[in-house]
Amino acid sequence: MATVTVPAAVVAPETLAPPHPIEWGPVVLGGLAATAISVVLLTFGAALGLSAVSPYPYAGLSAKSMAVLSGTYAALVMVGAFAAGGYLAGRLRKPWAEGVEVERHFRDGAHGFAVWALGVVLGACLSVAGVGALAKGATQAVTAVAAGGASNPAATSLALDPATYAVDRVLAPNPTPNGPAAPAITSRADLAAPMARAFAAGLRNDQLEPRDRTYLAQLVQQQTGISQADAERRVDDAFADLKAAEARARAAAEAARKAALIAAFAVAATLAIGCAAACAGAALGARHRDENTLVTLFGSRRFW
pLDDT tens per residue, range 185-208:
456 677 777 788 788 888 888 888
Judge if 168 and 235 occupy the same domain.
yes
Which domain range does residue 53 map to? 2-151+264-296
Assess if residue 33 is contained within a domain.
yes
Judge if 60 and 124 occupy the same domain.
yes
The predicted-structure confidence for 90-113, as pLDDT tens digits, reads as follows 988 888 766 677 888 888 889 999
Judge if 164 and 111 occupy the same domain.
no
Query: Does the pLDDT of residue 179 top 60, yes or no?
Result: no
Give how many domains the chain has, as a whole number. 2
Assess if residue 63 is contained within a domain.
yes
Query: Does the pLDDT of residue 217 top 70, yes or no?
Result: yes
Judge if 239 and 290 occupy the same domain.
no
Judge if 276 and 131 occupy the same domain.
yes
Higher pLDDT among residues 275 and 125, named by residue: 275
Assess if residue 257 is contained within a domain.
no
Q: What is the pLDDT of residue 115?
A: 94
Assess if residue 220 is contained within a domain.
yes
Judge if 44 and 188 occupy the same domain.
no
* Cβ within 8 Å of residue 243, ≥6 positions away: 203, 206
Judge if 113 and 225 occupy the same domain.
no
Assess if residue 207 is contained within a domain.
yes
Q: What is the pLDDT of residue 23?
A: 86
Higher pLDDT among residues 160 and 55, named by residue: 55
The CB density around residue 59, as the number of other CB atoms within 10 Å, is 10
Judge if 161 and 20 occupy the same domain.
no
Judge if 139 and 43 occupy the same domain.
yes
Q: What is the pLDDT of residue 164?
A: 63
Query: Does the pLDDT of residue 28 top 90, yes or no?
Result: yes
Query: Does the pLDDT of residue 298 top 80, yes or no?
Result: no
DSSP codes of every residue in 122-153: HHHHHHHHTHHHHHHHHHHHHHHHHTTS---H
Q: What is the pLDDT of residue 172?
A: 56
Q: What is the pLDDT of residue 145?
A: 45
Assess if residue 218 is contained within a domain.
yes
Assess if residue 29 is contained within a domain.
yes
Phi first, then psi: give them for residue 296, nearest 5 degrees.
Answer: -110, 130
pTM summary value:
0.64
Judge if 105 and 195 occupy the same domain.
no
Judge if 105 and 176 occupy the same domain.
no
Q: What is the pLDDT of residue 269?
A: 92
CA-atom Rg of the chain in angstroms: 32
Judge if 98 and 65 occupy the same domain.
yes
Assess if residue 302 is contained within a domain.
no
Give SS3 for 2. Answer: strand
